[in-house]
Structure 1
């Protein structure tokens, strides 16, 4: 199967194919399931206080971190130390990959979930009856670093970006361990994070002529420990909280962090 981006940009697309129609309503009937920003605000964690604040500031931040994990499973991280220029370069690098020709991307159209570099479309085309409106790139970057050869700048940018975000994630995991009354290195040592997998995933959602009928990604939980997400200023992301969907209004230069299934399994 080809990539959605090429199909969506191939001409004057005015309607979507039937195999992309996720729902037939406009979504108006579901408005009561979406919480307004004024009613619900995703918790924010100041990473600088966790990393180098006073003992009192760090203790307070650890309590906030534990509460965010317990009550939401999501939180925004600000003052994390990853340069905004690097984040923007990473976004541009991902866009440049998706802008490659279909023939160039086919080199990485892997078939197995453990292929170190894999790109494709939708979510799982082998079993889906309805396809999702996205293309993706998935790269294993730790403990062994991989990168597509094109675009040429991607390797250097992604190597530095993944190193910096891995440091943020491990510091957050230390804080989460302490919020549970555990030794701060509990998850780091128990799960042997130094040799654990880190995966870089990029999604692109091409312009859609009928966005009310399709879905970029299905509702899901992430299977890893933590997901650190940056957005390219395109709205649409929502998280579920107490049975309702909450719009993610990302703060400037922030990460949205999602606690994954592995944390829940590990702590049970």
Structure 2
């Protein structure tokens, strides 16, 4: 059984006071959250090599990015068996005895393998109701040693989701009118950074008092998310929180801060958060794709020239951006806001 956070010998009877959110009234329940029609992208039409169908999907990608910053991907080529194996591998890790996991209790935010609860416990007001394992898998691949299947499964899953994310990125940047040469020069995607994160949100006796993870945007270009049947993800759309119910065998994809930078604000990173459930465990597996850690990302020059627009963001080395975000209190787009001109 996945490790419980609340445990007093009788399941569901004890809620640790240090987990209470700084502003409990801000924790939103289901009846204050509207259901939304998240755009659906058929990946097979993007990758089948037929120019006409690819052009249509590129148009749909652009529309989804401009209107939502978030979309669902179907027919993505990642088998159900591979998805299930990755989910089982993360559950297997979290079910290990504490002494087998404690070596990964990272003290530094950029450690190649790091386990914890909060985003950054040294600066957060209260822990989040989750356990996470975060692993850097590209350009250098890392893996915990247990369970024994974890390395093989995660390496295979990382390769497939990296391909998926890079093809989606090409389509998104095509929708902005950016050529492949400019895209590679700007982002160095061959050496892209890729992080794999497993999140476990155990049942919570008082879900109205805490967060799985509060409102935030992601630092990279694109985030690809898989989750089990327990929903909990909410995204901000037109000033309202929208509950996201994933389709079977699909991925949920959102734009990160560096897509907002490279598009000069035309495509915006999306705020999202995770609530917890009082009966069921939610599991999510995140693949986050960013530029090379050594790349300084700025708004694409051709976009500025074409529209005669000034740059809306100043540049920063991606690795420095990530380290600053990971070292700070998680709060919406606070790190990206520092780069606005």
Common topology (TM > 0.5): yes
| TM-score, normalised via structure 2 length | 0.73
Corresponding position of 2:58:
62
Work out the CA distance in 2 between the residues paired with 1:9 and 1:84. Answer: 33
Contact map agreement 1:174 1:188 (CA 8 A) in 2: no
Specify which structure has the bigger relative contact order, considering alpha-carbon pairs within 8 angstroms and separated by 6 or more residues.
Answer: 1
Work out the CA distance in 1 between the residues paired with 2:142 and 2:57. Answer: 35
How many residue pairs match? The answer is: 261
- 1:245-260 alignment runs, 5 A limit: 245-260=241-256
Question: In structure 2, do the counterparts of structure 1 residues 206 and 169 end up closer, same or farther at CA, with 3 Å as the change threshold?
Answer: same
Match of 1:211 among 191, 195, 207: 207
Question: In structure 2, do the counterparts of structure 1 residues 75 and 186 end up closer, same or farther at CA, with 3 Å as the change threshold?
Answer: farther
Work out the CA distance in 2 between the residues paired with 1:253 and 1:144. Answer: 28
Work out the CA distance in 1 between the residues paired with 2:137 and 2:210. Answer: 31
Q: Which runs of 5+ in 1 are unaligned?
A: none
Question: In structure 2, do the counterparts of structure 1 residues 26 and 170 end up closer, same or farther at CA, with 3 Å as the change threshold?
Answer: closer
| TM-score, normalised via structure 1 length | 0.92
Corresponding position of 2:144:
148
Aligned to 2:167, the other structure's residue is in SS state helix
Contact map agreement 1:27 1:212 (CA 8 A) in 2: yes
Corresponding position of 1:19:
18
Work out the CA distance in 1 between the residues paired with 2:170 and 2:24. Answer: 45
Corresponding position of 1:267:
263
Determine whether 1:244 maps to 2:240. yes
Match of 1:8 among 1, 6, 9: 6
Determine whether 1:35 maps to 2:31. no
Aligned to 2:227, the other structure's residue is in SS state coil
Question: In structure 2, do the counterparts of structure 1 residues 196 and 250 end up closer, same or farther at CA, with 3 Å as the change threshold?
Answer: same
Contact map agreement 2:71 2:254 (CA 8 A) in 1: yes
Contact map agreement 1:134 1:206 (CA 8 A) in 2: yes
Aligned to 1:168, the other structure's residue is in SS state helix
Q: Shift of the alpha carbon at 1:28?
A: 7.5
Q: CA RMSD in A?
A: 1.9
Corresponding position of 1:169:
165
Corresponding position of 1:88:
84
Q: Shift of the alpha carbon at 1:236?
A: 1.1
- 1:177-256 alignment runs, 5 A limit: 177-184=173-180, 186-256=182-252
Aligned to 2:3, the other structure's residue is in SS state helix
- 1:81-120 alignment runs, 5 A limit: 81-120=77-116
Work out the CA distance in 1 between the residues paired with 2:238 and 2:90. Answer: 33
Deviates more, 1:183-192 or 1:244-253: 183-192
Q: Which runs of 5+ in 2 are unaligned?
A: 265-341
Contact map agreement 2:7 2:14 (CA 8 A) in 1: no
Determine whether 1:79 maps to 2:78. no
Question: In structure 2, do the counterparts of structure 1 residues 145 and 27 end up closer, same or farther at CA, with 3 Å as the change threshold?
Answer: closer
Aligned to 2:197, the other structure's residue is in SS state strand
Q: Shift of the alpha carbon at 1:30?
A: 8.4
Deviates more, 1:50-59 or 1:18-27: 18-27
